[in-house]
Structure 1
Amino acid sequence: MGMLRVMSRRGDDRVTWDEQKVVTGDLEAIAAVKEAERIFAQERAKGATAFRVETGKPIQRIDQFDATAEQIVMVPRVVGG
């Protein structure tokens, strides 16, 4: 199961998808991946940083969406003031 988490003032927003269903052509799973890709691109354009989080592995900064990731966490740009 894959998950995109976008941190915000409200906590985090999540989009999940089943990678196995994507492989078998499940339309709902494919739509979830496309939505996650859209959100990823939108947040990156705003300056967010993305991290790939995998159980038992070091966290890795990423610049492109990866539908095979266990979890992608997006942290918005911090604005001081």
Structure 2
Amino acid sequence: MGMLRVMSRRGDDRLTWDEQKVLAGDAEAVAAIQEAERIFAQERARGATAFRLDPGKPAERIEAFDATAEQIVLVPRVVGG
């Protein structure tokens, strides 16, 4: 299972997908991954930073959506004032 987490002032929104079902062509799983890609691109365009999180490994900053990641976290741009 993959998960996209988008941090916000409300906490975090989560979207999950099953990579095996995507590979099998399951329509619902394909739609979920397409939505995750859309959200990833939208948030990156707004200045969010993306990190790939895999168990037992340090967080890795990523620039492109990776459907094989166990978890991707999007952190919005921090604005000071």
Q: Does 1:30 align with 2:30?
A: yes
Unaligned 5+ segments in structure 1 are none
Which string of whole-angstrom CA distances, capped at 9 and with x for unpartnered residues, describes residues 21-78 of structure 1? 0010000000000000000000000000000000011110000000000000000000
TM-score by length of 1: 0.99
**May I ask how many residue pairs the two structures share in their alignment?**
81
What is the root-mean-square deviation in Å for CA atoms of aligned residues? 0.4
Question: Matched residues, percent identical?
Answer: 80
Matches within 5 A, 1:1-81: 1-81=1-81
| Deviation beyond 2 Å, 4+ runs, structure 1 | none
Unaligned 5+ segments in structure 2 are none
TM-score by length of 2: 0.99
